[in-house]
Structures are given as structure tokens and as C-alpha cells.
Amino acid sequence: MNNEKITQIKGRLFDGSKPLAIAAVLASNGRKTQLIYNNTRQTYHCDELRVSPRSGQSDRFIALPDGGQFQTGDHDFLDTLPHEVRSEGPVAWLEARMGIAVIGVFLIAVTLALGYFYGLPVVADKVVEKIPMATEQALSEQVLAWFEDKKWLTPTEQEEERRSVLRDSFNLLHQGLVSSAYITLEFRSSKMIGPNAFALPGGTIVITDQLIPLASSDEEILAVLAHEIGHVELRHSLRQVLQSSVVGLIAATVTGDAATLSAAVAGLPAVLAQSSYSRKFESEADDFALDLLKNHGISPSSFADIMEKLDTTEIGEVFSYISTHPITSERIAKARNAGESP
């Protein structure tokens, strides 16, 4: 290397043939590097060498062209050689500054939280618009079958005449709505669930035998069903599933298919059964129901009356109406006020 300025560093050589390290010296003039060990000298161009990423103050390795490795802790010299990872400088800089790293983690957590609480609902709403109601019915059939298989729902014990009267009134209630062709009413009995009514994706609404005698009038039953019709018309069930599952949201976004969504979300029926609607969804369904009742000559006070009864009813073993449709004094008061206003 003639009279050029030479930098020498000590280290250990792993030649690739023996597991033991050999004491060695690396001498470099910035263009060429000599590896000296056991009276042996090997010369390499600096461009042929590759330095492993920095990890704190731990020793690093220089990968040699012939397969060997030179280990040293002289980071000042190593930083002058080509690195295996181009981002080595910024990464090492961050590792040495714990405060900045903590702030970075915090900012990532905040970004993820904002995306979950604000971004997911927006994306879910857009995806739901692309899934036809007819396709969504596949979910309804799957969830209903799951309830029945688990014996959460059993065949209704209501007489056919009673069911016919309620179904006729129910059909008049949703007549003319966008989703009317898909809305159906299913009667089931359930000691596990108790007095309840709930909407499934695709338009199926289930009412339990236990809810019917709790009501003082058919208007109270129709008030509950009007609320469930609101969930169907606004497609809250599917939106709830998509917002609860990032995997499901991605599947539905890519395929636009509810059947694919059911395969992507493990335990989908259980998710639907045990997740309560958000306050936003409940408020939207309430507003829809109160307007629907008024349009059909039914006082919204009927909704307040039945909610008060449900609020004081013993909770079922699995889930109850108030666990999936949280009842608040504000909701009851809103229904009362709507019943008193012209």
C-alpha cells in the first residue's frame, strides 16, 4: 500500500472452515484492504467488503469475498465501508436515541388507534355499498343455522294464527322500503336468550316467543320490530362485522362477497351474537323506527314502553336484548318525546 495513510484494526477471523476464531489484523488505505493472520496476507478491494448492521455497541462482522468473516468492534472504521443494509445509518442513529424511539412507537400506536376508530368505519361503509343484499343473505342463513345448532334457538311455540297476525302487521310496516324484498320475520323460542329480537345480515329478523307476552300490545311488538327493520335498512349488522374484523374487511374489500367474508372471519356467528351495536348504530335505528312508526299511525311511545319493560327483565344466560341493544334513559326519553310531538 506504499506510503499512503493506513488504518489498522484488530479483530478475529472466522475463515468458514473451522469453528474457532483466529486473531487477525485488517489494514486499509480506503481503497484496498489487507487481512493479516498467521503470516498470511490477503488483499481485497474495499468495495468487495460488506459490513453487518449496527446493533447498539455489539461487535459487527465484515463479510469477505471468499466466504470468511472478520469480527471487530471498531465502529468508526466499519462505518467507512459499504453496509449490507442501506438504512444502516438512520437505524443506528435511532437505536442510540431511546427517547425518539419511544415517541415513534407512541405515534405509531396513535395512528393505528385513529385508523381503527375512524378509518375502519369509513372503509366498512364503502365496502357494504358494494355487497348486494342477496349476497349478504348467505351470512343470515349461516348465523341462523349456528344458533339452532347450538340450541340457542328452538322451534316457536306460538300458534299459527298469532304469528300470522303479527307477520301481516310486520309486512305492512316494511312495505315500500329499499330492503323490503329481503326482510323476513322468523319466530323462535329461546330460554337461553329470553325476550329478544335481533336482525341478521341479509334481512332476516328473529323475534323470540318470550318477547311477545312481555308486550302489553301489538304496537309495542311492532315498535321493537321497527327498530330491527332500521338495522336491516341501514345494514348495521354487516357494517358491525366489517368494523370488528380487519381480516374480514380486507376479504370483503377484495372480493365484494359476503360468503368469502364468512370464511375469512372465524367464529362469525359468535361475533354477531355477542357484539352489541354501537351508540351511533342504535341511535340511527331508533330515529328510523320512530319515523316508521309515525308513518304507520303507531305512537313512538310504544317503543319507550317496551324498552322500559326490557330494561327490567331478567337477563338471559347467553345474551339479552339490553346486552346487544344497550338501553339508556336518553333513548327512552327520545321515544317519549317523539310520541308526544305531533
pLDDT tens per residue across span 22-52:
899 988 888 888 998 988 898 998 888 888 8
Contact 34, 1 (CB under 8 A): yes
User: pLDDT per residue over 126-183, tens digit each?
Assistant: 666 667 777 777 777 878 888 898 888 999 999 999 999 999 999 999 999 999 999 9
Contact 78, 62 (CB under 8 A): yes
Fold designation for 7-95: PH-domain like (2.30.29)
Q: In the structure, what pLDDT confidence band is assigned to residue 250 with cuts at 50, 70 and 90?
A: very low
pLDDT at 270 (0 to 100): 52
Contact 163, 155 (CB under 8 A): no
Residues 6+ apart with CB under 8 A from 126: none
Report angle CA 93, 94, 95 to the nearest 5 degrees.
95
pTM over 0.75: no
Report angle CA 205, 210, 214 to the nearest 5 degrees.
105
Distance in angstroms (rounded) separating the CA atoms of residues 293 and 288: 9
pLDDT at 128 (0 to 100): 66
Contact 293, 267 (CB under 8 A): no
pLDDT at 100 (0 to 100): 63
Q: Which amino acid is at 9?
A: I
**How buried is residue 71: exposed, middle or buried, by Cβ count under 10 Å (0-12/13-18/19+)?**
middle
How many CA atoms are closer than 13 Å to the CA of 127, on its beta-carbon side? 27
Q: Sketch the domain layout of the chain as residue ranges.
A: 7-95, 116-340
pLDDT at 265 (0 to 100): 45
Q: Which of 7-11, 183-187, 314-318 has the highest mean pLDDT?
A: 183-187
Render the burial of 247-277: b for 16+ CB within 10 Å, e for the rest.
Answer: ebbebbeeeebbebbbebbeebbebbbebeb
Q: What three-state secondary structure class fits 44?
A: strand
Distance in angstroms (rounded) separating the CA atoms of residues 32 and 25: 14
- According to DSSP, residue 182 is labeled G
Mean pLDDT on 310-335: 68
Distance in angstroms (rounded) separating the CA atoms of residues 307 and 322: 9
pLDDT at 149 (0 to 100): 87
Q: Indicate whether 113 pLDDT > 70.
A: no
pLDDT at 91 (0 to 100): 56
How many CA atoms are closer than 13 Å to the CA of 316, on its beta-carbon side? 24
